[in-house]
Chain A
Amino acid sequence: MFEPSTMLWLVPSLPLAAAILTAFLGPTLLKRFSHLPTILATAASCAVAVLLLAGMVGSSGPLAAKGYTWFQAGQFAVTMSLQADTLTLVMLVTVTFVGTFIAIFSAGYMHDDPGYPRYFAVMSLFLFSMTGLVLADNFLTLYAFWEGVGLCSYLLIGFWFQKPSAAAAARKGFLVTRLGDAGMILGIMLLWSQFGHRTDFVSIFHEARSRGDVEYLLTPACLLLFCGAVGKSAQFPLHVWLPDAMEGPTPASALIHAATMVTAGVYLVARCTPLFVLAPAAQLVVGCIGGFTALLAALIALTQNDLKRVLAYSTISQLGYMFLALGAGVRHEGLAIFAATAAIFHLFTHAFFKALLFLAAGSVMHAMGGVIDVRKIGGLRKILPITHWTFLCGALALAGLIPFAGFWSKDEVLESVLQAGEHADANRAVYFLLFAVGILTAALTAFYTFRVYFRTFWGAEKVPHEAHHPHESPNVMAIPLIVLAVGAALVGVVFEGATHWFSHFLSGATSFTMLNAPEPEHHTNWLLILGSTVAAAGGIGLAAYFYYLRPLLPILLAHTIRPAYELSRNKFHIDEIYILAVVHPLTIFAAMCRLFDGIVDGVVDLVGALPRIVAKALQPIQNGLVQFYALVMMVFLTAFLTIFILWFRQ
């Protein structure tokens, strides 16, 4: 009964049961206690995941649980089965641990909301989909749960659907990720058709690796799969939905758009490492898009005034880092494992500090009556001490200052890019350029993070009039902040910096053991550590100078470089470009289609109206006069006889 394989089913089923229970009984029975099923189910899933992980530390063989057959076509069958290797378990523990504390925080944050049960039902559904996604053992099951997390994201962004901007943002998020999903399903179909007509990961990877010279097939397939990752993980050019997704409740943003859903793309590419290793061109594209997005998002975040927007762009930027690492595997198997491990480690630490930052922003919003514009708040460190110290922990982790978590993972990412530059067959200069971009982005990250930190928590005390009585958050909100702050501080050094447990554990993942590469030896690159620390400290110092010591200087600087400042503040006009280039042509096309549809409708209506028109034309014949009927009879009889006689004359 408590076989590890059967315990696998508990991990997604418990949140699903909580979702169904909360959806059906929440408004009627549970009401103010609607948070209980979700919190209990998520905590239980976390416990099961930790148990499974502990069980797998010694032996790194994957677990498998056979499910029911979804559909079957001839010899091709797709089953809803689960598998759990070390990569899956790392993701599961991250998702459920952070999810539990976010659920606890939400119980306090969403306390007075009329949609309380709906929120927790959708959150549980999301956790079901996300855990199902990482537990999937074939592409189609993964795609089904991929769409499931997209749906829950739509439901949570549009939680306050009566607000038109929230409804529009939910639609935008769903449609933009759908664009990426179109590419992804094409990639899945390409892999299915070319590599043995199976969809499960292990079969496709073995088939691809055993056949030689398949790079011409793998490059488009990997690029198409990456399309899905670009959509879901908000990389350029499909990053436009994530800042607008901040219309949703802040804990939802913390869960979905910081810690878990947006990392699904990173998980997919890491899982497909055996395929990407054989297609270095695709990896180059992944790395370039990741690096470019990281820099772009950092430049936009420099001038934003909404704290949640800054955090959203920061998420996009950090996801860019993860893809930068995933693109650094080139053709070298050992380097690919190291780079993918760096990406997943950055995912792990990012989940902690980004969720922490979002929850702290939620705590600030809770105290300030919903105001999150940094221009309207200031000097909050005396009013909100716990929020202040936890936000500082998160900000230091994001900036990547030693010994906080972000430092170790960012260091590994940059190290992998540097090694890619050394080991690549072609385009070496590109990798060194990407490394320079990474260092620059690290400095910018530190700067913009501490810019909002100083403007929010230091300086003169400024409280907006919406805040009736600003007070520190209640315990139900403060305790998750503290737990996540401890995580953000320690998780890097404990799991990787001092011990290398993380990379050793992750090397047992099926995608990595398949590559048959020796475990890389860990040599510390002191020059890199020095360089990234200087970049981070420089960013923090510059932000302190600008926003604490000389508050008037940024205004002067913004005025001096007005064009660049405006360009950054307007998000480089990417949304406007999309409206002009994509939305307007589609609107015109839709109008044309509506016109054509009107014509078709008109034709059909005409055909339908034809009998009535003919009847109206023939109606005067029936006028009730006997002699008229007799006349008509005589006329036609005469005509008939004439024709008859003439015909018989021949």
Chain B
Amino acid sequence: MIPLSNYLVVGAILFVLGVIGFLTRRNMILMFLSAEMMLQGVAVNLVAFARYHGNLHGQVFTLFLITVAACEAAIALALILMLYRQRKTLDVSVWQDLREPGQEPTVDVEPPPVPAVPAELPHLTPAGIAPPRPREESHV
């Protein structure tokens, strides 16, 4: 049998990766993604223990966890949408208004690179119109 600790290590790795992603990412949606990954790590842990104990208690708990994660996703994405509408950016470091009065805002030493906007966007065929195709002869 695969020892229990292996599964726990996998769950821990997922959790730690989620933590690191949450702490280091600038994009709010990606921060949320990392938080979801933390939840998945916990879920793996619970399922492993369910298998270890031989009952389904862990799996039931995981179902609850996934349901809660879905609700939380709805709320979190609504909040991120509202914040985007305020500042027109998904950068989390623009939100420092809750600092102590008298504290200087933390500004980047090197500002993050702004993705280059291509001079000319590619022309795509408009949707809903069948593209021209060569007429095929049928040899029946």
- Chains A and B belong together in one complex: yes
A-to-B contact residues, CB < 8 Å = 619-620, 622-627, 630-631, 634
> Contact at A622–B99, with CB atoms within 8 Å?
yes
> Contact at B95–A624, with CB atoms within 8 Å?
yes
- B97 at interface by CB-CB < 8 Å: yes
7 contacts between A and B (CB under 8 A): A622-B100, A624-B95, A624-B97, A624-B103, A625-B96, A630-B23, A634-B23
Q: How far is the CB of A642 from chain B (nearest CB, A)?
A: 15
CA distance A627 to B23 in the complex (A): 5
Q: How far is the CB of A617 from chain B (nearest CB, A)?
A: 12
Query: A622: which B residues are within 8 A, CB to CB?
Result: 98-100, 103
Query: B23: which A residues are within 8 A, CB to CB?
Result: 627, 630-631, 634
> Contact at A623–B103, with CB atoms within 8 Å?
yes
- B73 at interface by CB-CB < 8 Å: no
Q: Determine the residue in chain B with the shortest Cβ distance to A631.
A: B23
User: Which of these, B24, B31, B96, contacts A624 with CB under 8 Å?
Assistant: B96
> Contact at A623–B99, with CB atoms within 8 Å?
yes
Q: Determine the residue in chain B with the shortest Cβ distance to A621.
A: B100
Query: B19: which A residues are within 8 A, CB to CB?
Result: 634
CA distance A624 to B93 in the complex (A): 9
* A623-B92 contact given A631-B23, A634-B23, CB 8 Å threshold: no
Q: Determine the residue in chain A with the shortest Cβ distance to B26.
A: A627
> Contact at B92–A627, with CB atoms within 8 Å?
yes
Query: B31: which A residues are within 8 A, CB to CB?
Result: 627
> Contact at B22–A623, with CB atoms within 8 Å?
no
Q: How far is the CB of A453 from chain B (nearest CB, A)?
A: 83
> Contact at A624–B99, with CB atoms within 8 Å?
yes
Which of B22, B93, B100 has most A Cβ within 10 Å? B100
Query: A627: which B residues are within 8 A, CB to CB?
Result: 22-24, 31, 92
Q: Determine the residue in chain A with the shortest Cβ distance to B25.
A: A627
Give how many A-B residue pairs fall within 8 Å (CB-CB). Answer: 38
Q: How far is the CB of A639 from chain B (nearest CB, A)?
A: 15
Chain A interface helix/strand/loop/mixed: helix
Query: A634: which B residues are within 8 A, CB to CB?
Result: 19, 23
CA distance A321 to B31 in the complex (A): 105
CA distance A626 to B95 in the complex (A): 8
Q: How far is the CB of A631 from chain B (nearest CB, A)?
A: 5
- Taking residues whose C-beta sits less than 8 angstroms from the other chain, chain B's interface range is 10 to 19
B-to-A contact residues, CB < 8 Å = 19, 22-24, 31, 92-93, 95-100, 102-103, 105-106
Query: B99: which A residues are within 8 A, CB to CB?
Result: 622-625
CA distance A431 to B103 in the complex (A): 89
Q: How far is the CB of A37 from chain B (nearest CB, A)?
A: 67
> Contact at A630–B22, with CB atoms within 8 Å?
yes
- Beyond contacts A624-B96, A630-B23, A634-B19: 18 other A-B pairs, Cβ-Cβ < 8 A, are A619-B100, A619-B102, A620-B103, A623-B96, A623-B99, A623-B100, A623-B103, A623-B105, A624-B95, A624-B97, A624-B98, A624-B99, A624-B103, A624-B105, A625-B93, A625-B96, A626-B95, A627-B24
Query: A631: which B residues are within 8 A, CB to CB?
Result: 23
> Contact at A626–B97, with CB atoms within 8 Å?
no
Q: How far is the CB of B87 from chain A (nearest CB, A)?
A: 14
CA distance A623 to B97 in the complex (A): 9
Query: B22: which A residues are within 8 A, CB to CB?
Result: 627, 630
Query: B93: which A residues are within 8 A, CB to CB?
Result: 625
CA distance A622 to B103 in the complex (A): 8
Q: How far is the CB of B103 from chain A (nearest CB, A)?
A: 6
CA distance A624 to B103 in the complex (A): 9
Query: B105: which A residues are within 8 A, CB to CB?
Result: 623-624
CA distance A466 to B93 in the complex (A): 88
> Contact at B103–A619, with CB atoms within 8 Å?
yes
CA distance A2 to B82 in the complex (A): 100
CA distance A631 to B96 in the complex (A): 16
Q: Determine the residue in chain B with the shortest Cβ distance to A627.
A: B23
CA distance A630 to B93 in the complex (A): 14
Query: B106: which A residues are within 8 A, CB to CB?
Result: 623, 625
- Closest CB pairs A-B (n = 3): A624-B99, A624-B96, A622-B100
User: Which of these, A619, A620, A626, contacts B92 with CB under 8 Å?
Assistant: A626
Query: B96: which A residues are within 8 A, CB to CB?
Result: 623-625
Query: A626: which B residues are within 8 A, CB to CB?
Result: 92, 95
Query: B100: which A residues are within 8 A, CB to CB?
Result: 619, 622-623
CA distance A625 to B99 in the complex (A): 8
Q: How far is the CB of A619 from chain B (nearest CB, A)?
A: 5
Query: A630: which B residues are within 8 A, CB to CB?
Result: 22-23
CA distance A626 to B97 in the complex (A): 11
Query: B103: which A residues are within 8 A, CB to CB?
Result: 619-620, 622-624
Q: Determine the residue in chain B with the shortest Cβ distance to A623.
A: B99
Q: How far is the CB of B94 from chain A (nearest CB, A)?
A: 10
CA distance A634 to B96 in the complex (A): 20
Q: Determine the residue in chain A with the shortest Cβ distance to B96.
A: A624
CA distance A634 to B20 in the complex (A): 10
Q: How far is the CB of A621 from chain B (nearest CB, A)?
A: 8
Q: How far is the CB of B99 from chain A (nearest CB, A)?
A: 3
Q: Determine the residue in chain B with the shortest Cβ distance to A622.
A: B100
Query: B24: which A residues are within 8 A, CB to CB?
Result: 627
Q: How far is the CB of A628 from chain B (nearest CB, A)?
A: 8
CA distance A627 to B19 in the complex (A): 10
Q: How far is the CB of B105 from chain A (nearest CB, A)?
A: 7
Query: A625: which B residues are within 8 A, CB to CB?
Result: 92-93, 96, 99, 106
Q: How far is the CB of B47 from chain A (nearest CB, A)?
A: 22
CA distance A626 to B103 in the complex (A): 15
CA distance A163 to B93 in the complex (A): 73
